[in-house]
Structure 1
Amino acid sequence: MRIITIIPAYNEENAILHVVNCVKKYSDVMVVDDGSTDETAALTKNTGSKVLKHNKNIGKGAAIKTGLESAIKDDYDLIVLLDGDGQHDPRCIPLLLEGMDGVDLLIGSRFLNMAPHNMPLQRRLSNGITTRLIRFVTGYHITDSQCGFRVISKKAAPFFVDISYNDYVYESEVLCKASENDLVVAESPIQCIYGNEKSYVRSRHVVHYMMFTLRLLIRKLLRRI
């Protein structure tokens, strides 16, 4: 079975080498540099990993789609998604892969069977609200809709490359797209490391997400009519 881990990255020169070298123990590696202005791409090329680079910063969703298109073309069986800032522990990859039997999309959950005591309060609150909304719209009994540590099957990957969103909304829309296509979604517990990671979420992203949630509710209402 061929497995690859896609790492979307934007200005992660301080963490990317450590992340890539850890992930290489478990799978092939592809870094999608989303228009970084630092040495993220150059450092990664020295590891022998596949590196794809956007000419300008487009968004995390766009980076994931670029990686998925390449992984589909290269005929990988399982595709792991993992952030490039060192927040996700690559040692969880084998555990996530074990949960893929009969599953199309597996989400690493920071809330399943544990309390994420080290997660900033604002993230915990926003995640809780969003996850409840996604559960309502999709019917999936998930606990962590926002985690970027995921595994996608070969069957499911093509459904996620044509999603119109390029920013952080993409990861929520993936769950909606999975529901629309009757894909099997599951979760597996993980732990995350929170330190001084940079946040690239701006006010425009918040507004965009609010509009997305409104469209989700409208979509649910229309289905009931």
Structure 2
Amino acid sequence: MPFVRMCSNTIGTWMFSNAMGQYIPDNQSGYRLISARLMEKMFTSKLGGFEFEVEMILRCVIEKYKLGWVTISTIYGDEKSHIHPIPHVIRFFEVTSYSRKVVRQAKKKIKIE
């Protein structure tokens, strides 16, 4: 894995895990096994791209779905990334901040009830 990618993944994993209140490994690579119940709930999402994946994980955390992770090998070749780093980082910060607020609100609601 390229050094810059490794650094951004490490920082992103830490930030996102902190926002979710539990360890969430790299949520941007890999395959998903999604229950029919979760899939049904995700049909209402208006998000796309990595924001959709974040919303899916956010729903799992709030609604106490079981999350599991399987390590996969990522192969990096000579191809160029199509990610625009600055807008991507800004959007990641926005999504992570939003996720943190939603998780905290959900925890407060659970304590009240």
Q: Common fold, TM-score beyond 0.5?
A: yes
Q: Given that residues 19 and 99 in structure 2 are in contact (C-alpha distance below 8 angstroms), is that contact kept between their aligned partners in structure 1?
A: yes
Give 3-state SS (helix, strand or coil) of 1:174's partner: helix
Give 3-state SS (helix, strand or coil) of 2:68's partner: strand
- Structure 2: give runs of 5+ residues left out of the alignment: 109-113
Establish whether residue 131 from structure 1 lines up as the match of residue 7 from structure 2: no
More strand by share: 1
CA distance in 1, matches of 2:36, 2:105: 31
CA distance in 1, matches of 2:107, 2:37: 29
Q: Given that residues 135 and 141 in structure 1 are in contact (C-alpha distance below 8 angstroms), is that contact kept between their aligned partners in structure 2?
A: yes
Larger RCO of the pair (alpha carbons < 8 Å, separation 6+): 2
Corresponding residue to 1:151 among 27, 30, 33: 33
Partner residue of 2:98? 215
Q: Given that residues 20 and 99 in structure 2 are in contact (C-alpha distance below 8 angstroms), is that contact kept between their aligned partners in structure 1?
A: no
For 1:125, the aligned partner's letter is: C
Partner residue of 2:4? 122
Instruction: Give the structure with higher Rg (CA).
Output: 1
Using a 3 Å threshold, how does the CA distance of structure 1 residues 136 and 149 change in structure 2: closer, same or farther? same
Partner residue of 1:197? 79
Shift of 1:146: 2.2
Q: In the TM superposition, what whole-angstrom CA distance separates every residue of 1:53-84 from its partner, at most 9, and x where no partner exists?
A: xxxxxxxxxxxxxxxxxxxxxxxxxxxxxxxx
For 1:132, the aligned partner's letter is: W
- Structure 1: give runs of 5+ residues left out of the alignment: 1-118
RMSD of aligned alpha carbons: 2.4
Equivalent residue pairs, number: 107
For 1:190, the aligned partner's letter is: I
CA distance in 1, matches of 2:6, 2:73: 14
Partner residue of 1:95? none
Give 3-state SS (helix, strand or coil) of 1:131's partner: helix
Using a 3 Å threshold, how does the CA distance of structure 1 residues 122 and 199 change in structure 2: closer, same or farther? same
Q: Given that residues 137 and 217 in structure 1 are in contact (C-alpha distance below 8 angstroms), is that contact kept between their aligned partners in structure 2?
A: yes
Percent of residue pairs identical = 25
CA distance in 2, matches of 1:205, 1:139: 23
CA distance in 1, matches of 2:20, 2:99: 10
Corresponding residue to 1:186 among 47, 63, 68: 68
Partner residue of 1:206? 89
Shift of 1:223: 4.2
Partner residue of 1:167? 49
Partner residue of 1:107? none
Using a 3 Å threshold, how does the CA distance of structure 1 residues 173 and 121 change in structure 2: closer, same or farther? farther
CA distance in 2, matches of 1:221, 1:152: 24
Shift of 1:221: 4.2
> 1:35-114 alignment to 2 at 5 Å?
none
For 1:192, the aligned partner's letter is: T
